[in-house]
Structure formats: C-alpha cells, structure tokens
Amino acid sequence: MTNRQTPPAAEIGLFLYGIVPSDVEPTPDAEGIGSPPGEVLAIRQGDLAVLVSEVGLEEPIGRPADLTAYQRLLDSTAAIAPVLPVRFGTVVTGEDAVDDLLNAHHDRFAGALAELADHVQYTVQGRFDEEEFISGLLAQNPPAAALADQVRGRSEVECREERIRLGELIAQAVELRREAENRDLIDAVDRYATANAVRPPSHELDAVNVAFLVAADDEDAFIGAVEDFADRRRELIRMRLLGPLASYDFVSAHQLVE
C-alpha cells in the first residue's frame, strides 16, 4: 500500500502597486492582477501604506491583462489621493518585506507624496499622418523629391538603394520634426503644468509624446491648451490626451529606493 502525499501549497507573495498615505482605503470593487483578480489590501505603517494583493510566487506576471489591472488601480487611486507607483512586476515574500521597505525609505516616500498631493499626470501623444507628412517633406526637400521620382513605378529590386536613401531622409525628417513638435507642445501648455517629461517614441511616426504633472486647480486650463494645440495641427498630427493618470513619469517607489 502506497502512502498518499498532499501536494505542497503554492507559495504566496505580495504584488506591490503603489505607496499611499495611510488613510487611503481600497474601494470594495478594487481588483488586482490575476485570474480571478486578487483582492487589494493596504498594509499600513504609521502615516504610509502600500497597496498590495496576493499572488503565487510561481505565477507568471506580465500578461496585458495584468498591466491593465495594475494601471487601472493606480489611476483610480490617483484620482482621490497621491500615489507613488511601484515598478510593475514587483513581488515580495510577505508583510515583513513591506515593513522593511517603508522603514528604510519613510522620509523619501513621505516627501514625494507631499509633492504629489493634488497633482495628476496627463500624457499627450500624437502621430504624424504619413501621407500628409511625406507630401509636405517632398514639397520642401528637393533631394527627397528626386529620390521619390526615381522609385515611383519601379520594383523594390530595381531601386533598392534609392528606397533606402529615401527612407533614411524620411526618418531623419521625422526625428527633427518630432523634437520641434515636443518643444512647441511644452511651450504651449507648460504654464499650466508643474513639470514635464519627454517620453521616447513608441512608433516611427510618433510626433509628440510628453507627460505633464498637473495641479488639480489647473486641469481645465491645461486640457484647453492641449485641445488648442491639437486643433492647430489637426491636418498633420492625430493627437490624444491620456489622463488623469498616476504619476508614472515623475516618481516611482522603485526609483526612490535605488
């Protein structure tokens, strides 16, 4: 007769979302990562707390749904209280590790939360209309126009070098125009923002990608300035405004502890 063994219970860790003031309560409908979604809890120590949920230590993390849940929780929290986002995917083994984190960096966390009070992040993104951009470039750049004439109606094999050179000219023009558009956007709206951060492009035709830290009292004026900027460029750039968001681009608990 063989002995039946009970499989060991899965080891459980804590997924960290963000650091908040200790009086912040997760809403009853707050959902963490995982399937089914984990319950969001606040581990408190003095005037600080960390929003967490339980996860299996061997459970894979990084699915699109996990990132969406992480961002949804932080953004909804930022709408009511300051929050320091912890780098996505940070998992610790238990509450003692959370206590150690808060003990070691209390003053920096408290100071950062004070700076973020009554502020949220907005991110302005825009992408060039490819046809409009290239037609404008060819009208103003004779070498590029000449190359475009050389490749028109010919197969890729016949004019490979010309196509490569034309692609390089277009990429250079996009990069230069992107830098100019980011500067112009900042000049147009920065009076209504506390800080700004230019973000790297995520697409070869990205025109603008800038994060702004905005005080609650300035949100309406900031949004209006962004809308005016977008309206002036509506033929060339397709723009969108994301926010209010947690302040991902201005402070994170991961950066603070390094």
Q: Residue 125: its pLDDT value, please?
A: 98
Alpha helices in 157-238 (DSSP H): 160-189, 219-232
Instruction: List pLDDT tens digits, range 65-81.
Output: 999 999 999 999 999 99
Residue-wise pLDDT tens digits, 166-217: 999 999 999 999 999 999 999 999 999 999 999 999 999 999 999 999 999 9
pLDDT of residue 47: 95
Q: Is the pLDDT of residue 5 over 50?
A: no
Q: In this predicted model, which residue has the larger pLDDT, 152 or 224? A: 224
User: Is the pLDDT score of 255 beyond 70?
Assistant: no
**Cβ–Cβ < 8 Å for 165, 147:** yes
pLDDT score of 159: 82
In the chain, the amino acid numbered 107 is: D
**Is the pLDDT assigned to residue 2 strictly greater than 50?**
no
More confident position, 3 or 121: 121
**pTM of structure:** 0.86
Please name the helix (run of DSSP H) or strand (run of DSSP E) that holds residue 101, with its range, or none. helix 95-116
CA distance 245 to 78: 7
Percentage of residues of the chain with pLDDT beyond 70: 93
Question: Quick check: 10 pLDDT over 60?
Answer: no
